[in-house]
Amino acid sequence: MRGKGGGVKDPREGGRYLPSAKIGPGSGSEVPPEKAGYGVEGDGAPAEGKAEREADAWDELVREFLLYLRVEKGLSPRTLEAYGRDLGRLARFARRVGARGPEELERKQLTAFLSFLGEEGLSPRSVARATAAVRRFYRFLVEEGRGGGYAALDLHYPRYVRRLPRVISQKEVERLLDLPFPQGPAGLRDRAVLETLYATGMRVSELVGLDLEDLDLAEAEVRVMGKGGRERVVPLGSKALEALRDYLREGRPALVRVPGQRALFLSNRGRRLTRQGVWEMLRTRAEKVGLGEKVTPHTLRHSCATHLLERGADLRYIQELLGHASIGTTQVYTHVSKERIREVYLRAHPRA
């Protein structure tokens, strides 16, 4: 593995296209979306004849597109699944307006489709993602010589207000992590999971995807495979290291059911821990310390970044730590810190 990451300390030290198989880390299946049985969800009895052939053509185009995104662009399974849903909605919309294929949809119809999504209750952020899916799909059609793709190439993303990440204070993190864990292997695992999430700021999908060989206790770092297949090496703080050593020594051996299991974090049944398992464990724990629904795995990620920034960490370091492709994504934490500084000021200054 590469050398240790940056030098800032861990805060603890101070119709639609439906996959027929689950995808993603911890799901028990790694079936790629383009082979996972995507098909247009019908409104009743199966279509016959010409309509059925047209639906099959849509299916085939989407499968080719998703394969292209997975192999050549390295998009994550969750993004591919979302794009499949978006293009499934587009296929249903096209049938309603009489378009037999994507090449028959005009610019005004594509704009109407995006407006329709908003009217159906999709959030502005989801509509923006659907816009990206449609644009990339049509660009793919042009590059592959399928024609008709120019209508979508300059579709505009709808404007939406970026919500500030939900964070909890450092004292609240201490309450969450210092509450005694249950005795036994599961308690050792849960402690290691939460300490690692907060120490590294990694996504829960990245955490449950870790294998034993990704962890280097001697160098106090972990190798993480992030979105788009981008790999990064993240340092571990002393609290996380201690929890991981205890888990590997006394917890994980008792959870292993199959020799050769490489997953780092195991469920009580000896399988790879799932995102849902982490969510449920964290929700239960948060309720015990009075945080309720304020805390999710992503809350710990946001809180890690915000607390590092408050303690003087460089924004570029936080970008590398979190695996953001763009510094613009990381800059949202500067707004969070400003808000928190204002809250403290108004609460503490005698003449505020």
The CA-based angle 304-308-314, given to 5 degrees, is 130
Strands, E assignment, the chain: 215-216, 221-225, 231-235
- pLDDT for the residue 241: 95
Asked, for residue 214, whether it belongs to a domain, the answer is: no
Q: Is 339 left (phi over 0), alpha (psi -120 to 50) or beta?
A: alpha
Determine the Cα–Cα distance for residues 121 and 89; give it in Å rounded to an integer: 13
C-alpha of 195 from chain center: 19
Co-location of 78 and 188 in the same domain: no
Determine the Cα–Cα distance for residues 310 and 176; give it in Å rounded to an integer: 20
Domain closes at, from 88, 122, 152: 152
Interstrand relation of 221-225 and 215-216 (parallel, antiparallel or unpaired): antiparallel
Co-location of 56 and 187 in the same domain: no
Co-location of 132 and 199 in the same domain: no
CB 225 within 8 A of CB 218: no
Co-location of 56 and 122 in the same domain: yes
pTM for the structure as a whole: 0.58
Co-location of 139 and 188 in the same domain: no
Determine the Cα–Cα distance for residues 139 and 328; give it in Å rounded to an integer: 25
State the amino acid at position 241 in one-letter form.
Answer: L
DSSP reduced 3-state for 105 = coil
Determine the Cα–Cα distance for residues 242 and 233; give it in Å rounded to an integer: 19
List, in sequence order, every residue forming a beta bridge with 216; answer none if it has no partner. Answer: 221
Torsion angles phi and psi, residue 46, rounded to 5: -60, 140
CB 175 within 8 A of CB 289: yes
* Domain count for the chain: 2
Domain enclosing residue 116, as ranges: 32-152
Question: How far from 129 is each of 17, 114, 122, 146, CA to CA, in Å?
Answer: 16, 10, 10, 23
Co-location of 76 and 201 in the same domain: no
CATH number at residue 278: 1.10.443.10
Per-residue pLDDT in tens (0 to 9) along the chain, 352 residues: 444 344 444 445 443 333 333 333 333 334 444 444 443 333 344 444 555 665 677 788 888 999 999 888 888 888 899 999 999 999 888 888 888 888 888 888 888 888 888 777 777 778 888 888 988 998 888 888 876 666 666 677 655 545 666 888 889 999 999 999 999 999 999 999 999 999 998 989 999 999 999 999 999 999 998 877 788 888 898 999 999 999 999 999 999 999 899 999 999 999 999 999 999 999 999 999 998 777 889 889 888 888 888 887 777 878 888 887 666 666 666 665 556 556 655 665 454 4
Co-location of 237 and 121 in the same domain: no
Co-location of 144 and 179 in the same domain: no
- pLDDT for the residue 117: 85
Asked, for residue 120, whether it belongs to a domain, the answer is: yes
User: Where in the sequence numbering do the catalytic residues fall?
Assistant: 203, 227, 298, 301, 324, 333
- pLDDT for the residue 338: 58
Residue 272 is given by DSSP the state: B
Instruction: Name the nearest CA neighbour of 207 among 195, 217, 219.
Output: 195
Determine the Cα–Cα distance for residues 262 and 252; give it in Å rounded to an integer: 11
> Order of strands across the sheet with 231-235?
215-216, 221-225, 231-235
